[in-house]
């Protein structure tokens, strides 16, 4: 893996990643089973009434986590739209500028939810625990990446993917993706502090 966080070439699947997340078994095994992103039946799980973007732009859920947390597109368009994660614990924030970037994040750091506020050593311990629980984690990741038309060697490093999360959580993307709850108050940010 290289350290680049530049978008990988996914032109072969432009606009077609979401169907693969719900239909290709190797992809489902990794994303639903490892990364906790289930795109099989997103309509079965709806956002809580009143949860919306502060800007008034469209918020469209396309996947869910086992906990009921939501993966959503922001605005109009296709898979190139920003992706936000909305937790039932009252946290929300941008994950990626487009589904391809969110897919790469989940492939290289499926444990990204455990990153807020953790030190580099603590994050490494989380990654090591994932690998202990799933000895074939890298093989599952590589098979899922190939099924999505991605070269596993071209994926960003875990550190680059987490740095990108922190970059998106601060600045104009975070402002454009600000989610408010049913009472009208902004939800807490996913990444309020930078892991050291």
CB burial of residue 29 (10 Å; 0-12, 13-18, 19+) = middle
For the chain, 196 residues long, give each residue's pLDDT as a single digit of tens. 333 333 333 333 345 899 999 999 999 999 999 999 999 886 676 787 889 999 999 999 999 998 889 999 999 999 999 999 999 989 999 999 999 999 999 999 999 988 877 777 888 888 888 889 888 999 999 999 999 999 999 999 988 998 898 899 888 999 999 999 988 899 999 886 544 4
Whole-number Å distance between alpha carbons of 194 and 50: 30
At 100 the three-state DSSP class reads: helix
Could you say which DSSP state residue 96 is in?
A: E
List Cβ neighbours of 84 (8 Å cut-off, separation of 6 or more): 59, 71, 72, 74, 92, 93, 94, 95, 177, 179
Angle at 119 between CA 113 and CA 125, to 5 degrees: 70
The ranges assigned to domains in the chain are 11-181
This prediction's pTM:
0.86
H/E segment holding residue 142? helix 137-147
Cα-Cα end-to-end distance for the chain: 22
């Amino acid at each position: 893996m290289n350290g680049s966080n530049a978008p990988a070439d996914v032109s072969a699947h432009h606009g077609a990643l979401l169907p693969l997340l719900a239909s290709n078994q190797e992809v489902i095994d990794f994303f639903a089973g490892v990364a906790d992103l289930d795109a099989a039946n997103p309509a079965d799980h709806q956002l809580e009434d009143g949860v919306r973007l502060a800007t008034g732009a469209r918020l469209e859920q396309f996947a869910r986590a086992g906990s009921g947390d939501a993966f959503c597109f922001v605005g109009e368009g296709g898979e190139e739209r920003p992706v936000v994660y909305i937790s039932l614990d009252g946290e929300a924030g941008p994950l990626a500028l487009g589904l391809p970037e969110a897919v790469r994040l989940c492939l290289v750091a499926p444990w990204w939810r455990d990153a807020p506020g953790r030190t580099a050593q603590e994050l490494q311990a989380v990654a090591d625990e994932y690998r202990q629980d799933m000895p074939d984690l890298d093989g599952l990741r590589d098979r899922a990446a190939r099924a999505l038309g991605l070269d596993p060697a071209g994926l960003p490093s875990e550190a680059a993917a987490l740095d990108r999360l922190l970059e998106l959580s601060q600045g104009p993307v975070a402002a454009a993706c600000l989610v408010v709850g049913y009472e009208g108050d902004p939800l807490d940010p996913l990444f309020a502090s930078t892991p050291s």
